[in-house]
């Protein structure tokens, strides 16, 4: 077995093992995939597309054109629609003027984008009868979120980071869950998978702008910390897992 195939199998095994551990999805499920066009979501799309037939999983792609990056936002939307045709998966997209929404609500563009994104995902999931919404958050996103919460000030729950599975909406017995199947892998593994399988993706240049605290954490703070402690990311993940167990134990007691 060559190195590329071995790495692919290792990455897929991590995703599948974690998905079973947390009961993220099962055979026959209907899943709405939140696809931005970036490397993370493209890797998630490829993963589900390759597993959907043998596991009888029904897929639908959902994309939001935030209209934050001008013509590039339109190109992202066109790119995702093209992917939908390539994988033969229904694709639903919507244009939302996030800068205008942020101005009206007097909130940050980032906060407005998040609110609009989840609102549209939930509404689309209801329409398509998908009880599961999959987003492409990975372990590095989780570490960055914990640090961001620490910097802003948080309670113990904020140190848990991004939940791998959580309910987004419920009415009676009906529920819609958000799942993060890529939480078992990191950004490096995602980029390696993208390279091995020669998958195209879109680059969001706003992710390079360090005026946004999350970008500064990723590009400046974390590298500085890792010079002193190379295992810092893993330690953060382990801390979140242990804290989650303690919080759950406390609720039972």
Domain containing 38 — which CATH number?
3.40.50.620
Q: Taking residues 3-15, report their average pLDDT.
A: 91
Do the domain assignments include residue 150?
Answer: yes
In a domain, 230, yes or no: no
Q: What percent of the chain has pLDDT over 70?
A: 98
Residue 217 lies in a domain: no
Q: For residue 253, what pLDDT is reported?
A: 60
Q: Does some domain include residue 220?
A: no
| Helix or strand (DSSP H, E) at 91 | strand 91-95
Which structure tokens are listed for 182?
A: 């890529």
| Residues near 201 by beta carbon (within 8 Å), at least 6 away in sequence | 37, 38, 39, 42, 194
Structural domain count of the chain: 1
Domain membership of residue 7 (yes or no) is yes
| pLDDT-based confidence at residue 211 (cuts at 50, 70, 90) | confident
Look up the pTM and report it: 0.92
Answer yes or no: is pLDDT of 30 > 60: yes
In a domain? residue 223: no
Backbone angles phi, psi at 194, to 5 degrees: -60, -45
Phi, psi of 60 (to 5 degrees): -145, 135
Give the confidence band of 1 by pLDDT, cuts at 50, 70, 90: low
Cα distances from 199 to residues 10, 117, 162, 207, 253, in angstroms, run 18, 25, 26, 20, 49
Q: 208 falls in which pLDDT band (50, 70, 90)?
A: confident
Token pair in block for residue 80: 């995702």
What is the residue range of 155's domain?
A: 3-207
Question: Does residue 116 contact residue 107 with C-beta atoms inside 8 Å?
Answer: no
């Amino acid at each position: 077995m060559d190195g590329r195939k071995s790495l692919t199998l290792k990455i897929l095994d991590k995703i599948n093992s974690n998905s079973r551990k947390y009961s993220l999805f099962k055979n026959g499920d209907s899943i709405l995939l939140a696809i931005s066009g970036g490397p993370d979501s493209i890797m998630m799309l490829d993963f589900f597309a390759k597993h959907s037939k043998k596991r009888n999983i029904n897929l639908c792609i959902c994309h939001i054109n935030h209209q934050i990056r001008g013509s590039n936002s339109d190109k992202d939307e066109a790119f995702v629609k093209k992917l939908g045709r390539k994988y033969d998966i229904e694709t639903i997209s919507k244009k939302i003027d996030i800068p205008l929404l942020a101005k009206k609500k007097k909130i940050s563009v980032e906060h407005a984008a998040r609110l609009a994104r989840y609102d549209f995902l939930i509404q689309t999931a209801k329409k398509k009868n998908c009880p599961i919404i999959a987003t492409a958050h990975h372990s590095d996103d989780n570490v960055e979120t914990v640090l961001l919460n620490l910097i802003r000030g948080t309670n113990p729950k904020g140190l848990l980071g991004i939940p791998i599975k959580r309910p987004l909406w419920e009415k009676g017995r009906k529920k819609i869950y958000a799942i993060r199947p890529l939480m078992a892998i990191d950004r490096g593994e995602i980029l390696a998978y993208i390279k091995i399988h020669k998958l195209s993706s879109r680059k969001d240049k706003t992710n390079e702008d360090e005026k946004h605290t999350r970008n500064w954490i990723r590009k400046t703070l974390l590298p500085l910390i890792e010079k002193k402690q190379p295992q810092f990311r893993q330690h953060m993940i382990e801390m979140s897992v242990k804290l989650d167990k303690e919080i759950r134990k406390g609720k039972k007691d």
